[in-house]
């Protein structure tokens, strides 16, 4: 089932960041499955992106209980193997049946210094192992207030998709996450979020053409909560959400998934 206005299936992903040990992760996943009915996930793709130490536990819980959610990872290196202490390769993730990998999250860019070039290399590596990237783009408060939002996301899209095949771009998920709204309690209005997502879609069209751009699912991420998800998802340009803090509680995350109720 797809969204009737855009033809794109909504995708809601939980980014737990550095939270939940593997015992809590198992409990969360099991409780989420009890909270959701089949109708809740029929028309929405749900993704859980736990920390690396939880991946195997969440994977086995999803598989053994046949829970209708996909497994995602928060990050990976762009090399398949090598002397990169502390890093995780895309090959390792693929062996765990990871389906999605977040790449270029603002915290990776801002705190760990990931460049557009690194993001591009990771995106290509993720596709090499038949996983789907969730490419994050977004601006800081300073950039927003100085009118640089459009230029910032356009540059991130152009660099992120540089040298990527059109058929891969079409299947990539893009998350617009205004950095100023992450974990602050502030969020863009649905109208503002949709407007910037329109800029993102136009930027994709500049790289890969309008037909490809219309196939790309674009999420909003930035203090998404049960109280604002319905208003965001009512906007035809918004295809889902990348959820941070509100995804740590299974009750809250289930309410977000059930935004149509």
- Residues labelled catalytic: 105, 177
**Residues facing 73 on adjacent strands:** 101
In Å, how far from its chain's centre is CA 173? Answer: 7
DSSP 44-73: -EEEEE--GGGHHHHHHHHHHHT-S-EEEE
Longest dimension (CA), the chain: 51
Q: Is 170 exposed, middle or buried (0-12, 13-18, 19+ CB in 10 A)?
A: middle
Q: Output the CA torsion sign for 214, 217, 222, 226.
A: positive
Q: Buried b vs exposed e over 42-76: b needs ≥16 C-beta within 10 Å?
A: eebbbbbbbbbebbebbbebbeeeebebbbbbbbb
Indicate the pairing of strand 70-73 with strand 100-103.
Answer: parallel
């Amino acid at each position: 089932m797809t969204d009737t206005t855009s033809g794109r299936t909504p995708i809601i992903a939980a980014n737990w960041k550095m939270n939940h040990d593997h015992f809590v992760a198992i409990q969360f996943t099991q409780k989420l499955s009890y909270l959701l009915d089949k109708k809740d996930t029929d028309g929405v793709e749900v993704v859980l992106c736990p920390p690396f130490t939880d991946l195997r536990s969440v994977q086995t819980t999803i598989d053994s209980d046949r829970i209708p959610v996909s497994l995602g990872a928060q990050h990976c290196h762009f090399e398949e193997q090598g002397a990169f202490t502390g890093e995780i390769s895309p090959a390792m993730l693929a062996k765990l049946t990871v389906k999605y990998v977040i790449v270029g999250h603002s915290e990776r860019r801002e705190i760990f210094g990931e460049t557009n070039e690194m993001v591009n290399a990771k995106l290509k590596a993720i596709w090499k192992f038949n996983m789907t990237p969730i490419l994050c783009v977004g601006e800081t408060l300073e950039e927003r207030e100085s009118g640089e939002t459009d230029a910032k996301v356009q540059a991130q899209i152009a660099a992120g998709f540089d040298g990527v095949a059109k058929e891969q771009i079409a299947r990539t998920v893009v998350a617009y996450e205004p950095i100023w709204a992450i974990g602050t309690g502030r969020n863009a209005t649905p109208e503002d979020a949709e407007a910037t997502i329109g800029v993102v879609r136009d930027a994709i069209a500049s790289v890969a053409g309008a037909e490809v751009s219309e196939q790309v699912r674009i999420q909003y991420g930035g203090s998404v909560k049960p109280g604002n998800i319905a208003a965001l998802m009512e906007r035809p340009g918004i295809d889902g959400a990348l959820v941070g803090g509100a995804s740590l509680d299974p009750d809250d995350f289930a309410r977000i998934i059930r935004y149509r109720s």
